[in-house]
């Protein structure tokens, strides 16, 4: 993200990075919110906060505002495991927006969704003490995403392997 390696991220670097990562919309106001010292640049801790925010927060599918409080989500889309469809309260109140979605009657607010999911969680079984000393198999790791970090790592491995070859 820090294109010029000055250990800070400017607004231009911020926009360039997220466009390159494929984000459909970039909220420049988020940059201003995270720039706590108001110097026009994000320092290391600001970028950490930004990373956390980008990975954990959702935005309204219509007006693109970040959803930091209650919002409405399409339960059918949520349960399908596909892309969620979330709306801010203002957009949800506008029938013409809600009825354009393929499941207009499946919206539920985020707090009700959380409570409903909590009630559906099965109770944990009591621990089986006879298995306490039996080693568990290691968890299966998820296949890694193919992204720039993987590409750079593979390139580094290839360069290291090539440097070991005596013919080159």
Q: Which CATH number fits domain 1-56: 1.10.357.10, 3.10.400.10, 1.10.238.10, 3.30.365.10?
A: 1.10.238.10
Q: For the chain, what are the domain ranges? A: 1-56, 60-119
Per-residue burial over 52-84, b if 16 or more Cβ lie within 10 Å, else e, is eeeeeeebbbbeeebbeeebbbbbebbeeeeee
Q: Is the pTM of this model over 0.95?
A: no
**pLDDT tens for each residue of 141-159:** 555 554 555 655 555 665 5
**pLDDT tens for each residue of 68-107:** 889 998 888 888 888 888 999 999 998 888 778 888 788 8
**Mean pLDDT to the nearest integer, 17-22:** 79
Return phi, psi of residue 117, to 5°: -70, -35
């Amino acid at each position: 993200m820090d294109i010029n390696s000055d250990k800070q991220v400017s607004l231009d670097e911020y926009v360039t990075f997220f466009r390159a990562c494929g984000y459909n919309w970039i909220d420049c106001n988020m940059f201003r919110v995270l720039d706590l010292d108001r110097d026009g640049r994000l320092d290391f801790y600001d970028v950490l906060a930004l990373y956390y925010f980008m990975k954990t927060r959702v935005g309204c599918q219509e007006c693109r505002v970040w959803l930091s409080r209650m919002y409405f989500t399409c339960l059918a889309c949520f349960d399908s495991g596909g892309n969620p469809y979330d709306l801010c309260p203002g957009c949800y109140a506008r029938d013409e927006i809600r009825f354009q979605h393929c499941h207009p009657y499946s919206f539920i607010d985020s707090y009700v969704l959380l409570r409903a999911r909590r009630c559906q969680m099965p109770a944990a079984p009591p621990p089986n003490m006879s298995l306490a000393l039996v080693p568990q198999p290691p968890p299966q790791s998820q296949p890694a995403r193919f992204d720039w970090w993987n590409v750079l790592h593979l390139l580094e491995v290839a360069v290291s392997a090539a440097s070991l070859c005596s013919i080159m």
